[in-house]
Structure 1
Amino acid sequence: DRAIKLGEQFGRELDPSWVPLRDTIATDVLKNGWNDEVQSFTTAYDGDDLDAASLFVGLSGLIDPADERFQSTVTAIEAELRSGSTVYRYHRDDGLPGDEGGFHLCAAWMIEAYLLTGRRTEAEELFGQIVAAAGPTGLLPEEYDPVAERSLGNHPQAYSHLGLIRCAQLLSE
């Protein structure tokens, strides 16, 4: 989908198989990615694990943000993966030792999802919490531990800042 949009924007010739392939993938994700029991799009088909990346069904335009499935996905991810000023990518065992923190980039995705679902107050509050979590230099790390209230991971992290800048732009509109 993004390659098609970029190609169209810059007048590039598109591979004729891309549009039908995109449409096939979209149909498949919408049919098989939704879990009625969890009331959310999930990490994998036939699974019940949540992943903050599932927010992209609405952030990417795959479904309309007003769609009840997106609204419900935002609520489910918020309930399961948000902790204070951060949002965990997921909680499943990924083979790495130790407990990691939530990702500032995932929190930025949540802010955008809040805005798309008409929850501006929550978006503004979470944005303020991310800004407050910045270190004394004003820079953000990759991750944040909301219990110990400390930075984790790579510092500074470009993705954290890109997410924050995007949210600042969206909130200023």
Structure 2
Amino acid sequence: MSAVIKTATPFALESVLFTALEVSGADPKKVTNTVLQGISQRNQIELGDILTNRKDYNGRQLFRQQGERWVLLHDSDELGANIVSQLADRRYTGVKQFLAQLSLAYDIAYQQLLEQLAEQERAILEEERKNRVEAIRQQSIAKAKSQGYSVKESRTAKGQIQLVLTRTV
């Protein structure tokens, strides 16, 4: 028996997938040389895979990067979404349901990442704006002093900088 399970969301970003797996309770682990040595199903697992705590006939289910996407590798023999009783766990959910839940968690984690990146961009733009204002302020003060003015600086209620230039003759 074989099955093709498609997700509405392609799992493209490793960090977002990792976060979604953690939220889903899949206990993800990135496969390194150290992890690879401690696993009995070593012949099926490659460096860089993401292991989950979900098990089927083949052992632990895992995500492997194939091109731009991460794909769940699993045994598709879940008779009617129920895995055979010796592997059954009351908390086990079928692959289709698991991927649907993971897709939702991935979407949420992706939105959080986008919000974080947008906040970082806003912070960078605000810092650039402050630097620009400070440079103009310094330039204006230097020009006024070079022309013989004394400069008095104050701030308005709106946070604007007001320079009062005076010159005595």
Both proteins in one fold, TM over 0.5: no
Structure ranking higher in strand proportion: 2
Larger Rg: 2
- With normalisation by structure 1, the TM-score equals 0.23
- With normalisation by structure 2, the TM-score equals 0.23
Bigger RCO of structures 1 and 2 (CA < 8 A, at least 6 apart): 2
